[in-house]
Amino acid sequence: MSRMSGLMLPANLTQVAARHREQADKLRAQYGVEPPRWYRITNAAASDEAEVMLYDEVGGWFGAYADEFIDELAQITAPRLRVRVNSPGGSVFEGIAIANALRGHPADVTVQVDGLAASIASVIALAGDRLVMQPNSMLMIHDASGMCLGDAADMQQMAGLLDAISDNIASAYAAKAGGTAADWRALMQAETWYSADGAVEAGLADEVGAQRGAAAEPDAEPDPEMRQEYDLTAYGYQGPSQPKAPEPTPTLVISIADALDEDTMARLRAAVQPPAAEPVVEPEPVVEPEAPAEPEPAAEPEPIKPAEPAEPQPEPANDDWTAMVASLIPDDTDGWSALVSNLIEPDTSSSAATA
């Protein structure tokens, strides 16, 4: 962020600024115009805490001057003072004057950063007795910067002055959070941003404000008043009413039999008569195939007996006489031939014929 947190002008320009301020005050008084207010102070007589809202750039060229703020601050008589800050910074010297005015006030000062406390506004935030960072608010620190018109010697003088201003601001951070001014100067040169929790961790802030609707601590006793229930019977309230059951919708029923004759109704009944039920055929039971029987062991073959040798047959007689007689005997079947045959054939043939 490049806000001008330090402003050092040559003497002649400072005089010009003072003359412009005087002229602006005369014009406002002539036309009844209030100067732009970058702060607001509320000091209600019935309250023991006054409130100061610092919601703009700080003093000098950017708004009202510190002397106006200090004049109104001195009128606060409340024992407690809450300063709410949401500012990008502004004039270094105006901011330091405001911070010292807060330190010197007799009230117990709590500074509350609502949105942003950057540059010289962060120094003002450290001026209270306690610094509270609201949820999601931020705080930023950086080196002082300014403008200069002149020759090289003027530029060198301005550079030395800015270093002195930055070292002075670094000592304010070290006084609040600890550490050395050199350490904080290094953080300023790096332009360091802190979240609400980061500011507490760095030691610049004391606490983070509670979130709205945050759960109470487990050990905290609930307020007895929170357990009270309102008695609404005085207002005619008798408790939640039960919803009524919907009423049944009336149904119109017309009998067709009253409008038709008996013959027509008989034909209608026959037409809508359900067909006779077919006999239910029960499915045949499924016969599970039997498991194949295990094959019986094959019988051992009987040993083959060697064939008995055939009895030798006597060879027929083959003499000449037999052959001659056989050719003389006729081949007939009468008794004489058979008789003669028995007489003339050898004994072996006769035995074979009568067997």
Please indicate whether residue 137 is annotated as part of the active site: no
Q: How far apart are CA 348 and CA 355, in angstroms?
A: 11
Task: Check residue 124 and give left, alpha or beta (phi > 0: left; psi -120 to 50: alpha).
Answer: alpha
Structure tokens given for 261: 């004759």
Cβ-count burial of 69 within 10 angstroms (0-12 exposed, 13-18 middle, 19+ buried)? buried
For residue 15, give the amino acid letter: Q
Q: How far apart are CA 125 and CA 133, in angstroms?
A: 10
Is-contact 92 144, C-beta < 8 A? yes
Is-contact 126 98, C-beta < 8 A? no
| Residue of 119, 122, 137, 166 marked catalytic | 119
Q: What is the DSSP string of 163-224?
A: HHHHHHHHHHHHHHH-S-HHHHHHHHHTTEEEEHHHHHHHTS-SEEPPPTTPPPPTTSPPPG
How, if at all, do strands 207-208 and 130-133 pair?
parallel
Give the H or E element holding residue 320: helix 320-328
Is-contact 132 205, C-beta < 8 A? yes
Please indicate whether residue 119 is annotated as part of the active site: yes
Is-contact 80 112, C-beta < 8 A? no
| Residue of 91, 122, 142, 166 marked catalytic | 142
Structure letter (DSSP) for residue 162? H
Give residue for tokens 């412009």.
Answer: 20
Q: How far apart are CA 191 and CA 140, in angstroms?
A: 7
HSE value, Cβ hemisphere, 13 Å, CA-based, for 223: 4
Residues classed as catalytic: 119, 142
